[in-house]
Amino acid sequence: MMSFVRIALSIAWVSTASLAQTTTPLALDSVWARNYALNDTAAAGLLMADDFFALSSNGTPKDKATEMGDIRPTPGLMMKYFRTIGAREVPFGASGAAVVGTAEWSFEQNGRPATISRGYVAVYMRGGPLGWQLKALRMGNPPSTQNSSLRGEIEALTAAMVADFKRDPASVGQHYGDRARIVGGGMSTVGRVAIDEYWKGITGPSDWSLAVVDVGGDPNSPWVVGRSTLIRNGRRSETEFFGLLERGTDGKLRFVADLYTQARLARPGG
């Protein structure tokens, strides 16, 4: 009976959201948490994009099918609750937004109680039956207070990327991790080999600039919102991006995910 009620509620909620198309990423964030609390794979399947990917606290990547397996009921596991704390929306571009906060869940595993708390970043982009799709998820340390040294380090990284681009566009790939991905324009580029080819493909007279708008997260796995302006063969292209970064064993920060969308139009007068 309870399973029937949950399914009925899911269908009613999804139908309303599909028709209205007014759901915000912050509102969908509570649905994301609910999916784990209720083992609701039906709603999760609608929320996650087909090219969804997740990064666990140890950096291991997971695809949609693997994450759905984590949502399904597990023998011996009883969820008590899954909730988010201090969630806030970080918009980027005309059709992107991330939600950052702390996730906390309590459960019993074979009769043994446990409660876990993790910082998280959930990246949404417009599309799908709910108006927005969950494209990327990273779980890690709880969010730390923003500090100027982290912003300065990320600004130095983006400056190095621009300098490398002006020298040789193909060299920009070194600022991405081996399992990184670039998502935008209806395409996903996955892995360093593919990313190197992506940057090699930018030919002809070009100029590029990057501006850091906002940063946050843990110093070893921060996130960044920025604006990219590319002038290629006389044509100007402006995008905004949300990047997930990771510190390597050499101490350097590199992109593990770079999601971009068309930049928002500037308002008249500013």
pLDDT in tens, 179-205: 999 999 989 999 999 999 999 998 876
pLDDT classification of 42: cutoffs 50, 70, 90: very high
Res 225: pLDDT: 97
Is the pLDDT confidence value at 270 over 70? no
- CATH 3.10.450.50 maps onto the chain at 2-140, 148-262
Q: Does 109 or 7 have the greater pLDDT score?
A: 109
Instruction: Dump the DSSP string for 50-99.
Output: EEEEEE-TT--EEEHHHHHHHHS--TTEEEEEEEEEEEEEEEETTTEEEE
**Fold designation for 148-262:** Nuclear Transport Factor 2; Chain: A, (3.10.450)
pLDDT classification of 165: cutoffs 50, 70, 90: very high
Tell me the CATH number for domain 2-140: 3.10.450.50
Is the pLDDT confidence value at 10 over 90? no
Q: Give which of 174, 211, 167, 222 is closest to 195, Cα–Cα.
A: 174
Is the pLDDT confidence value at 121 over 70? yes
List all residues 6 or more positions away from 75 whose beta carbon is below 8 Å from its beta carbon.
none
Q: Does 23 or 38 have the greater pLDDT score?
A: 38
* Side chain identity at residue 53, one-letter code: F
pLDDT classification of 233: cutoffs 50, 70, 90: confident
pTM, two decimal places: 0.88
